[in-house]
Amino acid sequence: MEQSDKSIYNLRHDFSMASLDEKEVHLLPAMQFGLWMDQALEAKIGEAQAMVLSTVSTSGKPSARVLYLREYGDNNFAFFTNYQSRKSEELSNNQQACLTFFWPELERQIRIEGIVEKHSKEASDSYFYSRPHHSKIGAWSSPQSKILKNRKELDDLVTDFDKKYPTEDVPRPDFWGGYVLKANYYEFWQGRASRLHDRIVYTLQNGGSWKIERLAP
């Protein structure tokens, strides 16, 4: 075993901050998510809106990356990206995806599964035009997920688009916009002592109701 492996071999942390009971959670998972997100923001957790988006390729190979949740409500979770990126290519072939939030300061994790669809043009425009100027230029400049010869190639693209759009009046690229994950499954995880964690899941039923169950840790 490498020395670097040994340094994490015996790392331990016993969770003890809170508990989670299926009889006490909100009947609607979107409301439970909103409650936990509010508490994460109130606790001033850094990057509380950060989440892992997991997708699957046509060959069944999974991939994951961290990005920001930008809108949520009524079991819809929105994020924005380049429509020519790897994640977008995978979502065009398989709309099923998973979001994962982890807030170690609160000893909490949330997994949300669902079907992803493109967001509306209006929502994509609204978010794009709210971004700082250099973020707009970045959206135009980056051929996201494509191979670059070197950093200079990217820097040159930024310079070119800075010259093309020197003011705040930067249009949204057709290849950039939003997605919405429409949730059909949630798992709320609360850390507990001795790895006997609380895991409460909501599963969408036919007719639109939610079934609430407890999973073994």
Tokens (6 digits) for 1: 């075993």
pLDDT number for residue 214: 97
SS3 139: helix
Tell me the Cα Rg of the chain: 20
Taking the C-alpha atoms of residue 147 and residue 150, their distance in angstroms, rounded to an integer, is 9
Which candidate, 34, 35, 65, places its Cα nearest to that of 51?
65
> Is residue 14 pLDDT above 80, yes or no?
no
Taking the C-alpha atoms of residue 189 and residue 197, their distance in angstroms, rounded to an integer, is 7
pLDDT digits (tens, 9 = 90+) for 87-124: 999 999 999 999 999 999 999 999 999 999 999 999 99
Which domains does the chain show, CATH number per domain?
Answer: 13-131+173-215 (2.30.110.10)
Taking the C-alpha atoms of residue 211 and residue 196, their distance in angstroms, rounded to an integer, is 22
Report the predicted TM-score, pTM, of the whole model to 2 decimal places. Answer: 0.91
pLDDT number for residue 11: 74
Taking the C-alpha atoms of residue 81 and residue 87, their distance in angstroms, rounded to an integer, is 9
pLDDT number for residue 3: 59
pLDDT digits (tens, 9 = 90+) for 158-214: 999 999 999 889 999 999 999 999 999 999 999 999 989 999 999 999 999 999 999
Taking the C-alpha atoms of residue 131 and residue 4, their distance in angstroms, rounded to an integer, is 41
Residues 6+ apart with CB under 8 A from 2: none
SS3 29: helix
Percent of the chain with pLDDT strictly greater than 90: 89
Alpha-carbon torsion, ordered 83, 117, 181, 31, to 10 deg:
130
User: 9: pLDDT confidence band, cut at 50, 70 and 90?
Assistant: confident
